[in-house]
Each structure stands twice: as structure tokens, then as C-alpha cells.
Amino acid sequence: NTSESPVAVETLDDVPEHVLRGLPEDVRLFPSAVDKTRLGVWATKSILKGKKFGPFVGDKKKRSQV
């Protein structure tokens, strides 16, 4: 009888308010297509190449760190 601990699933309640406020109008957070326990960023319509939005809040990471 093995009991596995439940996997924590990230929800919108886990996302800081400033992140939600900073999302562009056509971007939403939904369950990730890569990791179902995490939220992913989804566009509700096409985003033009070069489109900028922000400001970025948080620690900048090198590609090797993510």
C-alpha cells in the first residue's frame, strides 16, 4: 500500500497581484501545456513579432539557469 503525496498545482491565487495587473490585454495565465502542475502564459490572439510589453519585474536569469 504505497501512498503518494498529492502534487501541488499552481493556481491564480499563487500569482502575485502585480503580475496579474502587468499582463497585456491579450495574454492570460492558464494551466501549462508543458507541466500541468504549473501555470503557463497563453495569448488569446496573435502577438506581432517585436511587440514589447512590461515592465519586467523579478530577477533576470541567464538561459542556462532556466
Residue-wise pLDDT for 12-66, tens only, equals 999 988 888 888 888 999 999 999 999 999 999 998 898 887 666 678 888 898 7
Measured distance CA(15)–CA(62) in Å, rounded: 22
Measured distance CA(6)–CA(59) in Å, rounded: 29
| pLDDT at res. 56 | 67
Q: Which helix (H) or strand (E) holds 42?
A: strand 39-43
